[in-house]
């Protein structure tokens, strides 16, 4: 099978995608038989185009959003971990869990120390100089100084403590 023959198995859409007319597996072009061997159609197209299969650990992916596309020009290689990263959308629960974890890990600051930080920043000290003294990152200092964290909730916040 050559690329011409592969293309003949597809209809070309307005994006130039070669939409596979053969059988699909999970929306992807299915397997094809060449010389008694079975290949994933996409992988085989890659081999035809580049003269060799993708290196070990690399997988053929598509730049276009059509999973059934077999156009070699729409293909590129990704590693398994890139694919996993791209497809992993953080669920709300996992976001909440990580926020909870951060909270559990983070209470290095108190309102008292936040006020100190704001005073020091106000006196012209850099965030980079302040951060190590409190065991927090510069971004945290930034948040405190900008009242994004450890904000004074009301003028009486201090009195209630």
List of residues contacting Zn ion (CB under 5 A): 17, 64, 66, 69, 71, 74
Q: How far is the CB of 5 from Zn ion (least distance, A)?
A: 18
Output 14 or 102, the one with its CB closest to Zn ion. Answer: 14
Q: How far is the CB of 35 from Zn ion (least distance, A)?
A: 26
Output 64 or 138, the one with its CB closest to Zn ion. Answer: 64
Q: How far is the CB of 33 from Zn ion (least distance, A)?
A: 23
Distance CA 102, CA 49 (A): 48
Output 66 or 143, the one with its CB closest to Zn ion. Answer: 66
Angle at 101 between CA 96 and CA 104, to 5 degrees: 125
Torsions phi, psi for 18 (to 5 deg): -90, 95
In order of 107, 108, 109, 148, 155, the CA distances from 159 in angstroms are 21, 21, 18, 21, 8
């Amino acid at each position: 099978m050559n690329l011409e023959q592969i293309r003949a198995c597809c209809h070309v859409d307005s994006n130039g995608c070669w939409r596979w007319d053969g059988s699909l597996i999970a929306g992807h072009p299915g397997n094809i038989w060449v010389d008694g061997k079975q290949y994933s159609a996409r992988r085989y197209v890659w081999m035809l185009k580049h003269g060799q299969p993708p290196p070990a650990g690399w997988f053929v992916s598509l730049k276009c959003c059509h999973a059934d596309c077999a156009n070699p020009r729409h293909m590129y290689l990704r590693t398994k971990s890139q694919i996993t990263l791209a497809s992993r959308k953080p669920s709300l629960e996992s976001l909440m869990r990580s926020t909870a974890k951060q909270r559990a890990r983070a209470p290095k600051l108190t309102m008292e120390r936040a006020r100190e930080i704001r005073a020091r920043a106000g006196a012209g000290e850099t965030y980079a100089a302040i951060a190590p003294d409190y065991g927090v990152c510069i971004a945290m200092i930034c948040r405190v100084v900008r009242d994004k964290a450890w904000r004074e909730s009301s003028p009486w916040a201090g009195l209630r403590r």
